[in-house]
Structure 1
Amino acid sequence: MKYKHVKLENNEYKVEGYMYDEDGYHGKSVLERKGFGCFECCIKCLGGIPYASLIATILLYAGVALFCGCGHEALSGTVNILQTYFEMARTAGDTLDVFTMIDIFKYVIYGIAAAFFVYGILLMVEGFFTTGAIKDLYGDFKITTCGRCVSAWFIMLTYLFMLAWLGVTAFTSLPVYMYFNVWTICRNTTLVEGANLCLDLRQFGIVTIGEEKKICTVSENFLRMCESTELNMTFHLFIVALAGAGAAVIAMVHYLMVLSANWAYVKDACRMQKYEDIKSKEEQELHDIHSTRSKERLNAYT
């Protein structure tokens, strides 16, 4: 809102929403002089925040942080366990072994963290603009066709990301299952004396059938692995990563509900805008017709 340079009482002036006297700036806006203080401004600002999108964004960031952070550390712990207790070494050359796959998974985690950090910001900005468009429906702000297309695009993209996170959650449950089996074998050896149990990596698909990488309860490496805190820590890190992936799925579902609701509101708002435009146009035409008839009658009388 802009104001003209107008002199008021007590040698005060008003220009572009602020008041000052001949000696300088008072430091108070016209809105504050009219009783619209800081509290009312804060209430108005808080009313424009898309709280549903904010909650979904916080949940998404928390889930992605847990999945990426704990998943990365769990993969590093897995490498140490394989090299220390199973005496596995990296294959020379370009052979695709388990260590190369773990490195690829780490790079994927880096990409997921960066991509969903940006995507969360985009969804939050879209929520702000959609909320502003709905609240200012009868103001100067107009809902554009581009804005509606962007909302529809976000709905489709969020749905695809939800399916992707479902796949990630299912994939993350595999190492949790494997470590649970290892943890169960270690617990059974401590509970049952004389139990002869073996852990073969071939049954998990970590090594090929031709390689024999197994340790049994009678071996020293098996006892050292079960007594170490590294196994327990890696197991729980994978559990937390699985929980983070589940939180990301819930965040995607929340985003879908928010985006669908905003799309419905925007669609209704667009219809209301068209109705108001048609109504005002018809009223203007009726007013012009009445004005023309009044002028014709006045001319006829004169």
Structure 2
Amino acid sequence: MYDITVSVEVGVLCRRGGEGVEVRVLWRRGRGCLDCCVKCLGGIPYPSLIATILLYAGVALFCGCGHEALTGTVTILQNYFEVVRSPVEALDVFTMIDIIKYVIYGIASAFFVYGILLMVEGFFTSGAIKDLYGDFKITTCGRCVSAWFIMLTYIFMLAWLGVTAFTSIPVFIYFNIWNICQNATTLEGASLCLDPRQYGIIPIAEAKTVCAGSEKFYRMCDSNELDMTFHLCVCALAGAGAAVIAMIHYLMVLSANWAYVKDACRMQKYEDIKSKEEQELHDIHSTRSKERLNAYT
């Protein structure tokens, strides 16, 4: 007997007459690169991937533009409003800006790790992992993981709503300053002033007013710092809004995963009960057959 392996799908058995030689052809289908690529692409959790890309884009836009906007704010306060740092360790505007910068660094690092964890959770509850490890490990671990991430994502979504509301404040301030600059150039003789005390940036006792008609006012309105900082604040607000949308997208994905693993758990219990009942019925029939055979003999 001779065994020959061929990479096709159907099997054929041939026998040469008279010589007693049997040739068995084993037809086996080979898995190509296309099938492997299709299987790998089918196991990617695309909703989680889209939400992760949106989250990274929003956080990067918020952190990068927010950091540069704070730097531009410091430059504007020092160059045009002549605000100086406090010589003692006090909670002035510059200290608050430094604290916000460190908070931005922490947000960037935390959500970079959180996006990776959510992607891992998406792969964990995908069909590819189900094919590898079966339903049991998916349902026992996946329900706890999905429930934990749903609660955590909901908390982060509320936090990003607060960040978005907080980011809209400098946008409102810079829009007012830009509007005053526009009106001062179109309305001649108008008495328009910029006072940072009304925004709580400096104490009430310190007067740092810049009014229209002064050299500092026109230099500030024509400077690149004001225009760039205003647009950076708008971009940071857009990034915070994109992060909120990503959190909402994650909540939908995690809720769907929760429903998936919950149904898989119920299906697993049903299959276990069904297999036990079938085994019991098989044992009962076997016992009765043995009793009948013994009675007959």
TM-score, length-normalised on structure 1? Answer: 0.87
**1:270-292 deviations in Å (ceiling 9; x for gaps):** 00100000001100110111011
Corresponding residue for 1:258? 253
Q: Is residue 59 of structure 2 the alignment partner of residue 59 of structure 1?
A: no
Structure 1: unaligned runs, 5 residues or longer: 1-7, 13-32
Deviations 1:173-197 (A, max 9, x none): 0000000000000001111112221
In 1: Cα distance, 2:278 partner to 2:109 partner = 54
1:259 partner letter: L
**What corresponds to 2:73 in structure 1?**
78
Matched, 1:233 2:235: no
Q: Is the counterpart of residue 164 in structure 1 residue 162 in structure 2?
A: no
Q: Deviations over 1:225-256 (max 9, x none)?
A: 00111100000000000000000000000000
The CA RMSD measured in Å over matched residues stands at 2.0
Q: Does 1:9 align with 2:29?
A: no
After superposition, the Cα gap between the structure-2 partners of 1:291 and 1:137, relative to the gap in structure 1 and judged at 3 Å, is farther
1:188 partnered with 2:190: no
Cross-structure match for 1:100: 95
Cα distance in 2, alignment partners of residues 41 and 11 from structure 1: 22
Q: Number of paired residues?
A: 276
Deviations along 1:26-51, one digit per CA (max 9) or x if unpaired, are xxxxxxx6132111111111111110
Q: 5+ unaligned residues in a row in structure 2: which ranges?
A: 7-27
Give the AA of the match of 2:144.
C
| 3-state secondary structure, aligned to 2:293 | helix
| 1:1-302 correspondence runs (5 A) | 9=3, 34-132=29-127, 135-136=130-131, 139=134, 142-302=137-297
Change over 3 Å in CA distance of 1:146–1:35 after alignment to 2: closer
Q: Percent identity?
A: 80
* 1:218 counterpart SS class: coil
Q: 2:126 is paired with a residue of what secondary structure?
A: helix
Q: Is the 8 A contact 2:43 2:128 kept in 1?
A: no
Between 1:290-299 and 1:276-285, the stretch displaced more is 290-299
CA distance in 1, matches of 2:206, 2:224: 27
Residue 292 to residue 244, structure 1, CA distance change in 2 (3 Å)? same
Normalised by the size of structure 2, how large is the TM-score?
A: 0.89
Structure (1 or 2) with the larger CA radius of gyration: 2
CA distance in 1, matches of 2:32, 2:5: 23
1:63, 1:245 within 8 Å by CA — same for their partners in 2?
Answer: yes
Deviation at 1:212, TM superposition (A): 0.8
